[in-house]
């Protein structure tokens, strides 16, 4: 009985040390993309966002609330087939987890400016939609026609830097492959 308890304690100790070390060592090399729960200011597809993009999304939610609209999300982070896949610069935020495509609904989920409306830039004729788009700019959030919100990093980094960042992010966030088949 005593032997059994002693063994258990040692095993528990080893696990604790291994676990803690693992935590400290892998901290910087973990996938930083996770689900962002936006609350009632967001609808549509679930948002997958890099940690660094979360403060931007929170501001987006504040602007939406102030303008009485709901951000209807069309897509966000996309896992590529392989990290080296070519990505157009306009689609880069989707590969980095730093952007969303969207259109606009009212707070009850009714249409304010759907995708066609965004593409034809008709939001300019709609007071609530104009309030939202202009509100983004005053908060320093990048809006690119027709319907992209992102953190602005694509405009600031070189294509080489973006490519490295993309490969790094995509590698870290790739689903773990099952090794059973070798
Ligand atoms: C993702 O977030 C982490 C932590 O904030 C940051 O270090 C990293 O640069 C971000 N990646 C991208 C592609 O913005």
96 pocket-lining for ligand 1 (C-beta < 6 Å): yes
Q: What is the pLDDT of residue 2?
A: 58
pLDDT confidence bin for 124, thresholds 50/70/90: very high
Q: Which CATH architecture does the domain made up of 31-173 adopt?
A: 2-Layer Sandwich (3.30)
The angle, 0 to 180 degrees and rounded to 10, between the axes of the packed helices 127-138 and 54-66 is 140
Q: What percent of the chain has pLDDT over 90?
A: 80
Q: Are 74 and 101 in contact (CB under 8 A)?
A: yes
Contacts of 135 (CB under 8 A, 6+ apart): 63, 66, 67
Strand partners, 113: 104
The pLDDT of residue 176 is 84
Size of the chain in residues: 182
Using most ligand atoms within 8 A of CB, pick from 50, 100, 168 the residue to mutate for ligand 1: 50
Domain boundaries, the chain: 1-30, 31-173
CA 89/CA 47 separation, integer angstroms: 20
Residue of 58, 74, 64 lying closest to 134 (CA atoms) = 64
Q: What is the pLDDT of residue 6?
A: 56
Say if residue 133's pLDDT is above 90: yes
Spatial separation of the C-alpha atoms in residues 93 and 104, rounded to whole Å: 20
pLDDT tens per residue across span 161-171: 999 999 999 99
Cβ atoms of 102 and 73 closer than 8 Å: yes
Q: Give 22-66 pLDDT, tens digit per residue.
A: 444 445 689 999 999 999 999 999 999 999 999 999 999 999 999
State whether the beta carbon of 148 lies less than 6 angstroms from ligand 1: no
Q: What is the pLDDT of residue 98?
A: 98
């Amino acid at each position: 009985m005593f032997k059994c308890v002693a063994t258990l304690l040692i095993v528990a100790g080893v696990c604790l040390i291994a676990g803690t070390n693992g935590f400290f060592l892998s901290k910087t090399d973990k996938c930083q993309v996770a689900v962002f729960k936006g609350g009632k200011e967001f609808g549509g597809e679930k948002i997958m966002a890099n940690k660094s993009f979360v403060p931007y999304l929170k501001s987006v939610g504040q602007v939406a609330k102030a303008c009485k609209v709901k951000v209807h999300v069309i897509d966000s982070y996309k896992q590529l087939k392989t990290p080296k896949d070519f990505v157009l610069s306009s689609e880069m935020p989707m590969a980095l987890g730093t952007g969303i495509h969207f259109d606009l609904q009212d707070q009850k989920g009714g249409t304010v400016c759907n995708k066609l409306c965004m593409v034809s830039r008709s939001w300019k004729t709609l007071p609530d939609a104009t309030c939202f788009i202009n509100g983004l700019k005053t908060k320093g959030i990048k809006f690119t026609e027709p319907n992209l919100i992102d953190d602005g990093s694509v405009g600031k980094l070189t294509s080489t830097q973006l490519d490295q960042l993309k490969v790094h992010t995509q590698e870290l966030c790739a689903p773990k492959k099952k090794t059973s088949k070798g």
